[in-house]
Every structure is written in C-alpha cells, then in structure tokens.
Amino acid sequence: MARLRDCLPRLMVTIRSLLFWSLVYCYCGLCASVYLLKLLWSIGKGPTQTFRRVAREHPPACLNDPSLGTHCYVRIKDSGLRFHYVAAGERGKPLMLLLHGFPEFWYSWRHQLREFKSEYRVVALDLRGYGETDAPIHRENYKLDCLITDIKDILDSLGYSKCVLIGHDWGGMIAWLIAICYPEMVMKLIVINFPHPNVFTEYILRHPAQLFKSSYYYFFQIPWFPEFMFSINDFKALKHLFTSHSTGIGRKGCRLTAEDLEAYIYVFSQPGALSGPINHYRNIFSCLPLKHHMVITPTLLLWGEKDTFMEAEMAEGTKIYVKNYFRLTILSEASHGLQQEQPDIVNKLIWTFLKEETRRKDWLFL
C-alpha cells in the first residue's frame, strides 16, 4: 500500500503528460485539416490566383527612415549568429531593449523608437530568425533556452549589464523568461498583451475558448505547411491578419498605412523568411510549464481588452507570479497590437511607470 502511495504522484504526472500531448497532436491534426480544406477551396476558386506571388526586391522607404534610428548589426560569439537591430538615442544612456511579437519585426516599435530616444538608448531587435537577423535552419535552434541566451549575449555585446525590457506578444513571452532567469539584467519589465507563461499554459488547458484562440500554436507544429499557407494568394493571410476588423491594427486607433503594410509583406516574403519565426513556436510545448517562475522585477503589464488572441482573464491572473511592484492597465477599446494601435497612450503609460516609485501592486482600467 505504501509503495502504491509513493507511485501515485508519478503515475498522475505521466497520465497528465500523456493527456497533454494527446491534446496537442489531436488539435494539430484538426487545424491541419481545416487549413487543407481552405487551400483546396482557394485552388478550386482560382488556381492561378492561389499560387500568385509578387516579387519584392526593394524595401519600402519607411524601413530606412532616419528618424527611426540607425541600422546596426552585432555577432554573438557563442552562437555565431548575426543580429540586426535599429538603435535610437545616444550611446551611454540607459538601455531600453524592445522585443517584437509574431508576425512582426523591429518596425513594430517605430513609435517607441521616436518617443524614448530622448532619455534612453532604444534598441529594437529583430529576434532570431526574423528580418535581417540570421535564421538557423533546424527547429532545435529555436528552443526557449536559445532565445533567452540570445538576449543575455546581446546585452553583453552592446556593453550593458541591465536594461529596461519591453516585450510584445511572443517577445513578451521572452521578456518574462529573461526577468525570471536573469532578474539582475532587468531594471524594469514591461509586457504588452502576453501573460506570465505559467498562467498561459494553465489557462489554455482549462478554457476551450482560449484553446481555440491559440489554435495557431498547434497549427505551427506541422512542418512547412503553415509557411506555405501564409504565402498563397500573395500573402493574403498575412495581409488579413494586419487589416481585418477582428485582428487588424487600428480598430480604434492608428491604422497601418499602405507603406507600413508593404513593409511587413516585404520582410516576410523574402525566401525562407517565415520558417524562422514559425520555428519559435515549434518548441514551446516541450518547454512549458516552467520550473522556476517567480518575477522579482517591477512590472507593468499592458493589455488590450479586445485582444482577439488572448483573453483578459489571463492578465489578471498574472499578479500572483510577480513578487514586486506590479501594475496592470487594461485598455478597454484596444486590441492586440497596442504599441502600434494606440502609441500615444502606451507611451504615456510607459513614461509614468518608468518615473514612478515601484512599491505596491496596482490595477487600472482605462
């Protein structure tokens, strides 16, 4: 009987693991079937249009706008990868490091590059596999441990030991992990529309609505097919993601201009440009939940209540993992791309957080 009691916890862990991976693979299959039907429907309506792709050889002028900063590169010694970033503000000022989400790149921080350069050395990074940063071929090179080490090594290469760290969406996930693993590197943490990773993994298993909203996580586990689906009809899915009423940027704020949209399409239409970003997601289920999860850094979490991809309840559940000052601000009329959609409000909230004393937990709804 005593032996059975000893074995029971391990048995429950094994059963839970089997159920979890069964869910992952079953949902992968379901998502693949849905997208395959969409592909067949598109081919049936117009095969020529389905496989049409416009050649984009030259970047839009907005990507070389000098008011956004200087394009720079740094090669990391350990991995040998070359990272691209855009920097604004004088060298020697405190570092503000910006980590973008999916499917984005450094340009998603254009409003913040202009805003914070007066007091910070603002660096908007292209994450591993994105934009002009090197993109390793194998999915194993995109494990969370590699992504965390990238940020640590980049800080060292830039000559800094700590920074104000800001992350949006997937970049928010990485920002949380940096604050957990290397708290001494983060003076203040600001995350936009991504909950603490443990909240995300626990919530998604208990709430079918969030499971549905995160279906692309499962779809991305399939080799090559997601990249192909993004590229058909001259990247129609990508354009829809940025411009539709449900997922687009600017529901009640700044919309993407035609040139902004073309900048995104240009970057992700380059040969192989989608594989690196999607590979980030192909390792996530083997890395979560986290063994260490407490955050001891002063933290600001900004959230768009109308986010199509993330339910607001996860934002409220994040506070239990922050053992320091924690401020949650939910913008009632905002969606997922806060820093692009409502840059003036977001920048003001960031300035307030950076300048205030951080001694208490606080929640604010706007």
Higher pLDDT, 185 or 1: 185
308: Cα within 13 Å, side-chain hemisphere: 13
pLDDT at 69 over 80: yes
| CB proximity list for 353: less than 8 A, separation 6 or greater | 188, 190, 298, 300, 327
Tokens, residue 19: 């159920």
Contact call for residues 109 and 340 (beta carbons, < 8 A): no
- For residue 300, list its beta bridge partners: 190, 327
Contact call for residues 143 and 282 (beta carbons, < 8 A): no
Residue 53 is predicted with a pLDDT of 82
* Percentage of residues in the chain having pLDDT higher than 90: 67
Q: Which fold has domain 61-207+282-355?
A: Rossmann fold (3.40.50)
Out of 134, 150, 169, 307, the active site residue is 169
For residue 336, indicate whether it is catalytic: yes
Backbone angles phi, psi at 90, to 5 degrees: -75, 145
Q: What is the mean pLDDT of residues 220-226?
A: 91
Q: Per-residue confidence at 36, pLDDT binned at 50, 70, 90?
A: confident
Contact call for residues 287 and 314 (beta carbons, < 8 A): no
> Which of 120-134, 297-311, 350-364 is predicted least confidently?
350-364
| CB proximity list for 63: less than 8 A, separation 6 or greater | 107, 263, 266
Q: Per-residue confidence at 300, pLDDT binned at 50, 70, 90?
A: very high
pLDDT digit string, tens, across residues 3-33: 656 666 666 656 765 666 676 677 777 777 8
For residue 134, indicate whether it is catalytic: no
Q: What is the mean pLDDT of residues 295-318?
A: 94
For residue 169, indicate whether it is catalytic: yes
Tokens, residue 343: 């840059």
pLDDT digit string, tens, across residues 179-211: 999 999 999 999 999 999 999 988 987 888 888
pLDDT at 252 over 80: no
- Rounded-to-integer distance, Cα 315 and Cα 307, Å: 11
Out of 27, 281, 321, 325, the active site residue is 281
One-letter identity of residue 39: L
Out of 100, 111, 280, 336, the active site residue is 336
- The model carries a pTM of 0.90
- Rounded-to-integer distance, Cα 35 and Cα 42, Å: 10
Q: Residue 213, Cβ neighbours under 10 Å: how many?
A: 16
Domain boundaries, the chain: 61-207+282-355
